[in-house]
Amino acid sequence: MINSDKTNLILKYTLKNALDYNGKANFQSVLGRILSEKPELKQNIKDLAKEINETIKKVNSMKLEQIKKEISKYDFEEKKHEERDFKKLENVSGKVITRIAPEPSKYLHIGHALVFIINSGYAYKYKGRCILRLEDTNPEKSEKEYVNSILEDLKWLKIKYDKKIICSKRMKIYYDYAEKLINMGKAYVCFCSRDKIKKLRHEKTRCECYNKSVKENLSEWKRMLSKKYSPGKANLRLLGDMESNNGTLRDPIIFRISNAKHYLLGNKHIVWPLYDFENSIEDSILGITHVVRSKEFELRAELQDLIKDYLNLKKQEVIEIGRFNILGAVTQGREIRELIEKRKVSGWDDPRLVTIKSLRRRGFIPESFHELAKGAGLSKSETNIDIRILASINRKLIDDRTKRYSVIFTPKKIKIENAPELKVKAPLHPDHNYGFRNFTTKKEYYIQDNLEKNQNYRFMHLFNFRDNKFISRELDKNLDARLIHWLPVSKDLVNVEVMMDDGKIIKGFGESNLKKVKVNEIVQFERNFFAKLDKKEKNKLIFWFTHK
């Protein structure tokens, strides 16, 4: 057997795909097979794609005989599926307790899903516990709608947790710790404007507000809590290190005033903790032992450690992983909100977004996210998630259970002279016995491709033709016919619309058997792509594009 280095692997699967499809290999199919065998190759997907394309060009120009000869050199014994798992955790003593801590100010996207899967996964791998903590202490941004969507997404993603904590219900805890800090002389009430604070922090200078006694600070803090100040007029700041090169340490604001109505508490409170403060307190008092988080939090870690040091709170083992960059997609909640407001996207489940809501609607399944998370592991380098990698995992997982149907997009009607009138059946799946689809054909067909002169074609499962004239029925390798798909012109065809991942809708005709497909079922449109049935309307079926 030839060794399985990259070039050979590409050639092997290109040849195989070409042989299965009458000499014409398909890029997505080859890529999918290669990534499922060697997932590490996705690190350099650009080069891989280039090499696959070159190989396909070479193989597709070969005669079938030559493809057969070449392929005999390879071994196609099924490789045993390797169970992927998370890497080992360091410093485990006692029960592992992890947390997932979303802020209910947006819908979850694929990056959140991966971090949450990893955190929850570790807890159960080590027979520990995982806590869900809804960090809803930003009254301007937190919404019930987001809380609900997060809970729904976690459930759909099969991310387990034992307990749910809602931070806004624990304000007294944060206030008590704030008072403790003030009593220790480690926090002070500042009356400077946001602009002045920003300017002085930039200049590494402390403002005069610091020069108050503990007693004065305590009484000002009480005045803040009893709503004597309006937003922006007073902030509680932590005594940090004004000289530090890490800007987050320069006396950061830890509590601010906001009049915004909180989705849960209304106007009960106006003094709200900022992220780092709330996070430090909660991680410690909940007994969290390990936190897996992305590298973008690195600078905040020093600040959080300082808060824990002051208050003598227990620190966590922090495991940093690369930041998940989702190539070519907007993931920032703020940016998405803006796109929605400007009506540039239709909503949080717009097919151009990589929110869980959108990917679920398109036909991605939860298991694909878990597979991807295990693969992403604890790599510290930036992890670029090309959506194609998730697609290749998803394809591998759904392929076996997905029925095949024919749909012709932007159909062109052609007539084949001398075509026999046939009753044919085609399998619902090439490898599994899911039954058959029946077609009755006459002389007229719909096709999607542009036909070339003097070129032999084969209608899949049907017959060979050239220049709109019938040649023969049986598969004939000597014809070197290009395989295309078709539908018989008939009044039984169904109108199909597909919402694509660029937000555009494409239209076509589908075989009548599609009427049996149920809403939310994922199917494959042969030689086109996978799609999920979104809606059945009176005269048409509306699908969402899953992936190639």
Which residues lie near Zn ion (CB under 5 A)?
A: 190, 192, 207, 209
Least CB distance from residue 230 to Zn ion, whole Å?
16
Helix (H, G, I), strand (E, B) or coil at 201: helix
- Give the nearer residue to Zn ion in terms of CB position, either 248 or 468: 248
The enclosing H or E element of 18 equals helix 6-20
Could you tell me the two tokens for 254? 């830890």
DSSP 109: B
- Give the nearer residue to Zn ion in terms of CB position, either 68 or 212: 212
d(Cα 503, Cα 353) in Å, to the nearest integer?
Answer: 10
Least CB distance from residue 189 to Zn ion, whole Å?
8
Spatial CA neighbour of 21 closest among 397, 487, 475: 475
- Give the nearer residue to Zn ion in terms of CB position, either 247 or 430: 247
Residue 483: CA count within 13 A, CB half-sphere: 22
Least CB distance from residue 192 to Zn ion, whole Å?
3
Q: Name the β-bridge partners of 531.
A: 523, 545
Least CB distance from residue 147 to Zn ion, whole Å?
35
- Give the nearer residue to Zn ion in terms of CB position, either 199 or 415: 199
- Burial status of residue 76 (CB atoms within 10 A of its CB: 0-12, 13-18, 19 or more): exposed
End-to-end CA gap in the chain: 31
Q: Which long-range contacts (CB under 8 A, 24 or more apart) does 374-379 make?
A: 374/84, 374/85, 374/86, 374/121, 375/39, 375/84, 376/114, 376/118, 376/321, 376/322, 376/324, 377/86, 377/87, 377/321, 378/86, 378/87, 378/118, 378/292, 378/319, 378/321, 379/321, 379/322
- Give the nearer residue to Zn ion in terms of CB position, either 209 or 239: 209
- Give the nearer residue to Zn ion in terms of CB position, either 149 or 235: 235
Q: Name the β-bridge partners of 253.
A: 237
Least CB distance from residue 31 to Zn ion, whole Å?
58
- Give the nearer residue to Zn ion in terms of CB position, either 192 or 408: 192
Decide if 515 contacts 498 (C-beta within 8 A).
Answer: no
Least CB distance from residue 190 to Zn ion, whole Å?
3
Least CB distance from residue 209 to Zn ion, whole Å?
3
> Any residues with CB less than 8 A from the CB of 200 and at least 6 apart, and which?
192, 206, 207
- Give the nearer residue to Zn ion in terms of CB position, either 231 or 328: 231
> Any residues with CB less than 8 A from the CB of 151 and at least 6 apart, and which?
none
- Give the nearer residue to Zn ion in terms of CB position, either 192 or 291: 192
Least CB distance from residue 237 to Zn ion, whole Å?
8
DSSP 322: -
Helix (H, G, I), strand (E, B) or coil at 339: helix
Least CB distance from residue 179 to Zn ion, whole Å?
20
